Structure formats: C-alpha cells, structure tokens
Amino acid sequence: MNASLLAVSITVGNHITHKFFGLTFNIDDLFSCAVAGAILLGLGFYMRAKATSGVPGKMQLVFETVISGVEDQVESSMGESGRPIVPLAFTLFAYILIANWLELIPTGHNPQYLPAPTGDINFTLALGLFVILLVHATWIRRQGLGHYIAHYFHPPALFLINIIEEIVKPITLALRLFGNIFSGGVMLLLIAALPGPFVAGIPVLDTVWKLIDGLFVGPVQAFIFAILTILYFEAAITGGH
C-alpha cells in the first residue's frame, strides 16, 4: 500500500464528543479519567480496610514497595523536608499507570469507548500545569516571594532563559507523556491497516503490541512523570540548590 494512501486512510484521535456551552468535550476521555480515579480510590479504601502491621498481603506488599521506592527517591533528593511530596508523587504514578492500562481493556476501536486518557494532550497538559503550578506555589510558600523572584536572576544574564524554561516545563512534561502513549495508538492503527499477506496476523499483532505498550511503556511513563515531579519539587523545597 502506498504510504501516502495509508496515511490518509488512518484517522487518529477520534473521540466521542459532546458540546456544552459552545465547548467540545471528549466524553470518552472524561469517562476514562473518572474510571481511573474510581479504581485508584477503590484500591486506596480497600488497602485502608485490609492493611495490617503483621504479615502484609500481596496487594499491601505492592503498595508498600512502590511507596518505599518513592520515599527513598524523595529523601535522597531533598531529605526529610520533602516527605510531604511522597503522597503526591505516589498518587500521580498510580493514577497515570491505571489510566495507561485502561488501553488494555477491549472497548471498541476508533473510537475506543474506554481509551487511555494519557493519549489526549488535553489530559497530559492539565496534569503538567497542575504539577508546575503547585511547584511554584510550594516555592513561594517555602522560600518566600523574594527568594522565588530572585532565583530567576541567577545568573542575571540568564533571566530570559530562566523565564522561558519555567514556561515550557508543563509543556514538555505533558508532551513527554502524551507522545509515548499516543504513538502506541498510532502503531495499533498502522497494524490494522497492514495490507494483504499481513491481514491474517493482525489480531495477534494488535494484541501483542497492546500488551507491550500497556505492560511496559505505561509503567515507564508513569514512573518518569513521578520522578520529574519530584525533581521539580526539589528545587522548590531546597531553594534551587
């Protein structure tokens, strides 16, 4: 199949939409966000009810292992002063991971009724803005407004570059997560568009790629987002040192 025809035949980013007050909302992504949040809350309440100080169950062991890893990363970066960041970093990791894994649930194809919302730039940009705005608020609260403003002038010659760096942080944070998850969706569409001799193997290829994308790429991207969040908060809490 000609590459240009293949590109034209593939439509990426189909969503179930609805208009409210002149704005278009991706209903499928909103539903996926709600489902991921409900799953995370359900797991949290379940762990609260089942947690024990004795021999932990398998799920408690998984939770404690991940939280311990986050605590070690935070403490190695900013010491005890960074402990309040642990719940945020863990929640972001768990929520993004669950959101990524929603892609593994077969719920239709183009549009998918329960897509990974991390494949939508609106969702990842909202996460990026949330994290960076919270970083700036933490910086001002911990270091004071004067120190916060002064860090843009260290050194004075790089003031403009420092400003640009802070502006692009949420964008790069969003695009890094979005690009990797979105590319997985593109690969599925390319596999589905394979011509003639490959048609018989499409279901197998589609399933294999979904598993690879969900079980390996999904956790890695959730981990990277959480680590970058910790690194951004490190500057806010330690004063940029």
Residue 196 confidence (pLDDT): 52
Q: How far apart are CA 202 and CA 195, in angstroms?
A: 10
Bridge partners of residue 23, in order along the sequence: 20
Name residue, tokens 């997985």. Answer: 184
Residue 116 confidence (pLDDT): 82
Bridge partners of residue 24, in order along the sequence: 19
Residue 36 confidence (pLDDT): 94
pLDDT tens, position by position, for the chain (241 residues)?
Answer: 444 444 444 445 577 788 888 888 888 888 999 999 999 999 999 988 888 877 778 888 888 898 998 999 888 888 888 888 999 999 999 999 999 888 777 665 556 678 888 888 889 999 999 999 999 999 999 889 998 998 888 888 889 999 999 999 999 999 888 877 666 666 656 655 665 555 544 555 556 656 666 677 778 888 889 999 999 998 888 876 5
The encoded tokens of residue 59 equal: 């799920």
C-beta of residue 101 within 8 angstroms of C-beta of residue 200: no
Residue 202 confidence (pLDDT): 52
Residue 192 confidence (pLDDT): 58
C-beta of residue 111 within 8 angstroms of C-beta of residue 117: no
Q: What angle do CA 114, 120, 125 make, to 5 degrees?
A: 135
